[in-house]
Chain A
Amino acid sequence: DQQVKQNSPSLSVQEGRISILNCDYTNSMFDYFLWYKKYPAEGPTFLISISSIKDKNEDGRFTVFLNKSAKHLSLHIVPSQPGDSAVYFCAASVTSGSARQLTFGSGTQLTVLP
């Protein structure tokens, strides 16, 4: 049972436009959410995160929105650039005693067209 779902395996956007990547989760105990970006032949790298006590977090061109009632979060990239083309993973975690376990979605391949 997938607790974190990214229902769009791929997304294509024109350079300069907004990219919106979506993520849904089922576990109401998740209290921290992250987005990772992955280029081919590299490991995922942390992009941006949000705590469940907030509904928005912004970092430059990247903004993450959290809708707890809908159990939905989204990543907005504006303006999109060709270098943003990568696989984006949504991840969620629950506070635990020893270390935060991350549950990942299956990823969305973003292609930004020049």
Chain B
Amino acid sequence: DAGVIQSPRHEVTEMGQEVTLRCKPISGHNSLFWYRQTMMRGLELLIYFNNNVPIDDSGMPEDRFSAKMPNASFSTLKIQPSEPRDSAVYFCASSLKGPSSYNEQFFGPGTRLTVL
């Protein structure tokens, strides 16, 4: 399996522009997580989906952030409009929730976002 795939790997944009980050989870996984990593706050959970349904978006910092999961193999995280303080590494992770298995999360390589 290719693992969790994220694109782009790097994104540089100007303040006010719309940014869309993409994620393809591991095939067969039914939970998907978006995280943000900053030096100050470490890894923060933004939102997670279970069976394509958003379960908890309490970590989404503002209305400028939105996430969708139209199907089991694709999710997007959108920032509109972007601000310099959004600069961070954004990780997507997926897991398989089952009755007998602990659902270890597998992370993608991340997207490094720089907002100028």
Evaluate contact between B56 and A101: CB separation under 8 angstroms.
yes
State which of A11-19, A36-44, A63-71, A73-81 sits at the interface with chain B. Answer: A36-44
Contact call A45/B107, Cβ cutoff below 8 A: yes
User: Which residues of A in the span 59-114 have a Cβ within 8 Å of any Cβ on B?
Assistant: 89, 91, 98-107
In the complex the two chains form, is A107's CB within 8 Å of B4's CB? no
| B interface: dominant SS | strand
CB pair A49 B93 closer than 8 Å = no
Which residues 9-41 of B have a CB within 8 angstroms of A?
A: 31, 33, 35, 41
- Asked whether B109 lies within 8 Å of A106 as measured between CB atoms, the reply is no
CA distance A6 to B55 in the complex (A): 27
Q: A99 near B103 (CB under 8 angstroms)?
A: yes
The size of the chain B interface, using a CB distance under 8 A, is 26
Cα(A45)–Cα(B107), bound, Å: 7
Contact B45 A101 (CB under 8 A): yes
Minimal beta-carbon separation of B70 from chain A (angstroms): 19
B35 cross-chain contacts in A, Cβ below 8 A: 104
A46 touches B45 (CB 8 A): no
Interfacial chain B residues near A46, Cβ < 8 Å: 104-106
Query: How far does the alpha carbon of A32 sit from the alpha carbon of B95 in the complex, in Å?
Result: 15
Alpha-carbon separation in the docked complex, A99 to B47 (Å) = 12
**Which residue of B43, B95, B110 is within 8 Å of A104 (Cβ)?**
B43
Asked whether, in the complex, the Cβ of A99 is within 8 Å of the Cβ of B43, the reply is no
Find the B residue at minimum CB distance from A105. B42
Q: Provide the bound-state CA to CA distance between A15 and B105, in Å.
A: 30
Q: Taking each of A34, A99, A103, A107, which has the highest tally of chain B beta carbons within 10 Å of its own beta carbon?
A: A99
B45 proximity list for chain A (CB < 8 A): 101-104
* C-alpha spacing A36/B31, complex, angstroms: 18
User: Which A-B residue pairs are the 5 nearest by beta carbons?
Assistant: A43-B107, A106-B42, A104-B43, A99-B31, A98-B50
Given contact pairs A99-B55, A100-B102, A100-B103, a sample of 5 additional A-B residue pairs in the complex whose CB atoms are under 8 Å apart? A43-B4, A43-B93, A43-B108, A43-B109, A101-B45
